[in-house]
A and B are shown apart, each in its own frame.
Chain A
Amino acid sequence: MNMFLRSLIVLLPVLILVFFAKILLVDDEIKFKDFESKNFPEFSLNDLNGDPVRAQSLDGIKLVNVWASWCITCLVEHPFLTKLSGQNFKIIGLNYKDSNAKAVAWLEKHGSPFLFSIYDPRGDLAFDLGVTGAPETFLIIDRKIVAHIQGEMTQKKWDAIFAPKIFKARQPS
């Protein structure tokens, strides 16, 4: 048995370990992009019922959650969104690259935390928003994007990024 193969047997697991250690140590900080008040892009899309969505629906404090029925992580964060909507936060869904029937079925099965969902089968609005995949969540205050989270929405991310901005926005100026 040559030396090369023997060292390879040991080296491969070492590489795997180093890779995971790198992910744990380096990529740990919560990923988010801080937009200082960028306007929400203009769009003309319908909701899942086929009614056109009006821009006024983005007035006030709103969350826009990018989701899809094919997205497993969306199912993971679903209970947390449901909790938020139970606490009277207004969440608008952005149904991303999905089929209407599947999206409606998904909402029926798991319950809907959304006021309504914008139907964006080609990902047009999502493209303008700079969405890279589902789920992502945007904090919109008076049609301006104030904060943005990629990946699963958790209590930790909510407390660290969204909650302070909402608190600030609710203070009378």
Chain B
Amino acid sequence: MIGEIAHFLSLSAAVLFGLILIFNFFFYFGKASPNQLVLSTRLFNQACWLVFFSFGIYIYLAINDDFSIAYIASHSNTQLPVFYKITSIWSAHEGSMFLWIVFLIAWSILFIKSLDQNHPLKKLTLLMLSLIILGFLLFLLLTSNPFERILPFGALEGADINPVLQDPALAIHPPMLYLGYVGFVISFSFITAYLVNGNFSLQWEQDIKSWSLLAWIFLTIGIALGSWWAYYELGWGGYWFWDPVENVALMPWLAATAFMHSLFASSKSNVLKAWTMFLGILIFSLSLFGAFIVRSGIIDSVHSFANDPQRGLYLLTFSGLISLFAIGVFAYRLPALNSSNLVVTGSKESFLSMNNILMITSIFSIFLGVTYPLIIESIYSEKVSIGPPYYNSIFAPLILIAAIFIMISIDALWQRRMSFRTFILSILTPTILSVLTIYIIWKITNVFSVLAFIGILSGLLILFSYSIKIITNFIDKKYINKGSAISHIGLGVLFLAISLNSILSYEKNLNLAPGQSIAINDSLKDFSFKSIKVLEASNHDVISAEVSVIQDNRSLSLNPQKRKYTTRGQITSESAIKASVLKDTYLTIGDQLDNGSWTFSLKINYFIKWIWLSVAIMVFGMLLTIFKNKTS
């Protein structure tokens, strides 16, 4: 009964959003009265709250083990702690789509509230948002209904959540990611409204700046958490796999990063407006594309939900129409958008536009990497796999060029050509320092890889040029954009960490019986496998190995485990990780061999923690920028 109420609330919300659209459509061409907007806003708010209530009830049902609801029955279990009963809601397609919509609505209602009642774009933005919400609500209710009942008798016990999802990271990774994806609906709707409205004297950048920065932060944290989770909890042993689903998250991130940059440029110097709008439309279109890729099952991936062409077709049609509409209006208005001021060569915005182009290039390359196997499959009926070598070789040069432009742009001015002298001075010291450092790294590590060294060079150029700028400006007491400087330093650290990780890390497969020990190399003088224990936990059995390692003259004890979950029979590996500042020692236990010995996989990962640290630095810089934007 309660489930039906929640279902009904969502249905009513869909009807209300539909009414808002019909109502406004019929009256749009007539004389607009202020009451019409007041009424629409009120209806909009009520419809939003209906969905919130509906989701609230759904959480209540999940906590109280209502297994007559098919989705809860197949993804939860009475034995689960309450926390996982709630997170199980977003552990599969229907529930996560529901959460996605709840976030979509949350962003929309907050943004609409933030706009003045007589803001010229309020009505159109509200309509655009209603249309998008309605489309997704219908998608949820028609093709992936989370409220569906098992009739006439519900299940007595749920099928349990997948054990790899029984992790605190699951509670935050998908919600953060969705908040990011969905947050760009604001810039998308607002820009589309601006383009439809056609009054180009309006200033619009400031209204969406903070919102977009916030969405960028969520998206960044969401992606980083996913990578952290895969490494520390799922035991994948790495941080990025160029999995199609990782790629479809990276594309909107790159577009969003380019968008942030040109948003600042266009609010500062009145150029790049068309670019900014195009990027704003592109981000959300790519988010929608991502939803389509993940939820249509068109690509095999560890992330993809069950294959259902009907869902895929609905998503493709709906998101295609929405994006095409926005892009169509953009193309129609393009001649009017072109500002008469040209970008001055050698000005800050000229380097910014170059990096915009580089980011678009990388988005296109990823897009090609994702779709190429599909193209080949549909033409030749053959399966091909595109892996890290493709992406590494494409990204390394792009990153280097981008780093060089970042370095030059630090001392460049808005709207003015930089003098040749400043140009030389600004690149000379960082370049010399970077080349020297690279030489030292090469001498210390004794390894050489072109791609990795390109990455290291890019990271160093950014780090040195920003450090020099910060120090000199501090001494001269000159102004520096702290947020931007910190974020870019984060980016430099990221490039450096990824490249050093790729050349220094190594992996060993070992085969030992309890009581045996072995020397591995100069840094790992002793690896001894002490004993093995079998334990029983509440819903799983555990095999736990006790290993002690002498690494760099320090003694470490490691306890890798294997777990067998009783309800699903699934076996998971819990790797043991010992982390120090420079490297992680990552040990996974395998199977027992016939002679009684056990196999281990030992990975030494250098600088891997620095990857997430760099993301934290970038996010911190972005937070500073939001704060500054709010106070100014």
Contacts and interface: CB of A to CB of B under 8 A. Distances in A.
Nearest to B374: A23
A75 B302 contact: yes
A154 B307 CA distance: 10
Interface string B559-573: 000000000011101
B378 A82 contact: no
Contact of A27 (B243, B302, B378, B383): B378
B308 to A, nearest CB: 10
B573 A109 contact: yes
Nearest to A108: B590
Given A13-B324, A105-B509, A107-B591, A23 B302 contact: no
Interface in A63-84: 70-73, 75-76, 79, 82-83
A28 B309 CA distance: 7
Interface string B303-323: 010010100110011001001
Interface string B361-400: 0000000000100110110011111010000000000000
Nearest to A79: B570
Interface residues of B, number: 50
Contacts of A25: 309, 313
A151 B327 contact: no
B334 to A, nearest CB: 5
Contact of B601 (A9, A105, A151): A105
A76 B331 contact: no
A133 interface: yes
Interface stretch (A14-22, A52-60, A141-149, A164-172): A14-22
Interface stretch (B88-96, B186-194, B292-300, B496-504): B292-300
A65 B321 CA distance: 41
Nearest to A155: B306
A61 interface: no
A122 interface: no
| A-B residue pairs, 8 tightest by C-beta | A108-B590, A133-B383, A73-B300, A111-B571, A17-B320, A6-B331, A9-B331, A1-B335
B307 A156 contact: yes
A79 B328 CA distance: 45
A19 to B, nearest CB: 8
A70 B570 CA distance: 21
B313 A13 contact: no
Nearest to B324: A13
B324 A14 contact: yes
Interface of A: 1, 5-7, 9-10, 13-14, 17, 19-28, 31, 70-73, 75-76, 79, 82-83, 86, 101, 104-105, 107-112, 132-133, 150-152, 154, 156
Interface string B484-514: 0000000000000000000000000100000
A152 B300 contact: yes
Contacts of B331: 6-7, 9-10
A72 B385 CA distance: 9
A108 B300 CA distance: 23
B313 A24 contact: yes
Contacts of B590: 104-105, 107-109
Contacts of A110: 571, 573
B309 A24 contact: yes
Nearest to B591: A108
B178 interface: no
B625 interface: no
B330 interface: yes
B42 to A, nearest CB: 35
A109 B588 contact: yes
Contacts of A73: 300
A64 B304 CA distance: 25
Contact of B327 (A13, A28, A108): A13
A109 B601 contact: yes
B296 A104 contact: no
B64 interface: no
Contacts of A17: 316, 320, 324
